[in-house]
Structure 1
């Protein structure tokens, strides 16, 4: 029994072909949108790649770019097919191509759904990449004279100013690393020397943060040194001074930024997937309806269209049998050692009988 059968007249078939021609051209535009979204996400990630650890997070934008490019090509071909299908006689040139085209388009449409789901599942890997990358960037913040790292100070400062954040997880991260280069430390000062000697790793740690952590909304001048020492500043309590420094860590700020982008892209890709699936469904109905017209021989007659000619279980069983027969053919070819002169039929033992013995020929009587 056919799945979701629909009866089409010639007028309905022509209208369906015309509508699908227009929708396929719209799908070319949606493919360009997919390509643009993937390119935009790739650029956004590369803009701050120095703040991310080397993790394979480029697969999402790369997949969107590839899917968008393929969508333009497939839907361009689909538009040409639907335009020719308005005339039943022109359908004959596409008859053998229609089914492979629909199967390939179905798997391609599934890739769009996978791309949308990947946008939502990327958060965990992105968070790990940001955590490790920002920790390394803060560690090399002081290396302004080291080739390959001299840009990190400016990058981190601009990041903290733009996203109104401080440190990796918070401002306390700066007190656990040496972020001032030794060339700017007065080694003749006893306090500096004592602080370097008191640290096991010989680092100059202090209770302070860079200027870029200062909250511009603070009513008082920014306190960026001796943050935890209340007696070092007049009328100051580091617990209640909420507006002195940016309270949020840069990892959370960047993660929220990228999450918002990926959720917006994921929602857009889902809408495109639903649209592509509806176009594919229409093309399937058009194909089956026109094939039934060719069987009937009358181009003006009514015809039935369906998604599947048999039920889902019967279709799956038929395809499984085809795959099994293909496997048996391969086994026969292997047994022949690739000799083309040996002609062994690709049949199962049940072809002749339970003992695989051909039936005796009956004598011919006049």
Structure 2
């Protein structure tokens, strides 16, 4: 029994072909949208590649590839649907339609995978940002080191733009030396004592870079001796929430990219549903046109369906095909594989003539 069988008149078949022709051209535009979304996400990740330990380009590359394939497949689909109005032209595409539908089905599945990847990218992105920001903070002071001189500017712009501080918070700066050795007065007893007090010989202090200062602070920013209340007038660091940015940069970047990926994922899901509906229409057009050929009357009514048999019967039929293909390679079960052929037996039984050797 056919699955979702629908009866089409000639007028309905012609209208279906025309509508699918238009929808396939719309799908070409959706392919361009997919390509643009992947390119946009790739550029956004590339902007802050210094703050990530691994380059996470699997999702944007997937969207870019799917977008390009969508343009090609839907362009071909539009041409096929346009010519299916004429029965003579349909015969040219008859053998190609089923492979086209199968390829398009797997292509729409790839679109769904791309949408799901947008929602599952968060964990990998969070780990990459944690490690990347940790290393960037360590290299913050290396303004004279080739390959790292740009890190300070990148981190400062990040903390100002996203109003964040540190990896998880401003206290992360207390655990690293972020001031370059060249700016430390080694003749000062305070500096020497601070260096000696650390096992690794680092200059650690309860201070943060200027970029951690909150833009909405009601007082001049306090970025040195943050935890020392007596060092500042009318100051309590536990209540001065507006003095420094409280949010960590990892959380700020994660929220930024998550919002982008969720928006892209929603758009890709809508495109997937649209492509699936176009594919369904093409399948109805193919089966109804093939039934017209069987009837022999181009103006007669014909049935169209998604599957000629039920889902269970279709699955069983395909499984039997795969099983029969597997048996073709099981040559070890041939009962005559070790039996010599007639020509081989004749060669074994033919006596050889003894040629006397010359004395």
Given the two structures, how large is their TM-score scaled by the length of structure 2? Answer: 0.92
> Given the alignment of the two structures, is residue 82 of structure 1 paired with residue 81 of structure 2, yes or no?
yes
Q: Does 1:3 pair with 2:7? A: no
Question: Residue 335 of structure 1: CA displacement?
Answer: 6.8
Matches within 5 A, 1:37-116: 37-54=37-54, 57-116=56-115
Q: Per-residue deviation at 1:331?
A: 3.0
Give 1:245's aligned residue. Answer: 244
Change (3 A) 1:78 1:332: farther
- The aligned counterpart of 2:282 is 283
1:227 aligns with 2:244: no
Quick one: distance in 2 between partners of 1:291 and 1:178?
75
Unaligned runs of 5+ residues in structure 2 are 336-340, 342-359
CA distance in 1, matches of 2:264, 2:150: 31
The C-alpha deviation readout for 1:137-190, integer Å capped at 9, x for no partner, is 001100000000000000000000000000000000000000001100000000
- Cα deviation for residue 217 of structure 1 reads 0.6
Residues of 2 paired with 1:160 and 1:31: CA distance? 36
Question: Secondary structure in 1 aligned to 2:303?
Answer: strand
**TM superposition shift of 1:328:** 1.7
* Mapped partners of 1:249, 1:23: distance in 2: 46
Change in CA separation of 1:333 and 1:39 when aligned onto 2, cut-off 3 Å: farther
Partner of 1:206: 205
* CA deviation map 1:342-365 (0-9, x unaligned): 9xxxxxxxxxxxxxxxxxxxxxxx
Distance (Å, rounded) in 1 between the aligned partners of 2:206 and 2:331: 78
Q: Which residue pairs with 2:130 in the alignment?
A: 131
Alignment coverage as a number of residue pairs = 338
Equivalence for 1:144: 143
Distance 1:305 1:313 in 2: 19
Report the equivalent of 1:33: 33
- When residues 144 and 334 of structure 1 are mapped into structure 2, their CA distance, relative to the original with a 3 A threshold, is farther
Partners of 1:334 and 1:107 in 2: how far apart? 36
Distance 2:109 2:31 in 1: 14
Q: CA deviation at 1:54?
A: 1.9
Query: Within the alignment, does 1:312 sit opposite 2:307 as a pair?
Result: no
Secondary structure in structure 2 of the residue aligned to 1:7: strand
**Does residue 20 in structure 1 map to residue 20 in structure 2?**
yes
Aligned to 1:349: none
CA separation of 1:270 and 1:224: change in aligned 2, threshold 3 A: same
Q: Distance in 2 between matches of 1:204 and 1:11?
A: 83
2:348 maps to none
Matched position secondary structure for 1:209: coil
Q: What SS class does the counterpart of residue 330 from structure 1 fall into?
A: coil
Q: Secondary structure at the match of 2:25?
A: helix
5 Å matches for 1:289-328? 289-328=288-327
CA deviation map 1:193-218 (0-9, x unaligned): 01001100000001000000001111
Q: CA deviation at 1:321?
A: 0.6
How far apart, in 2, do the equivalents of 1:198 and 1:278 lie? Answer: 69
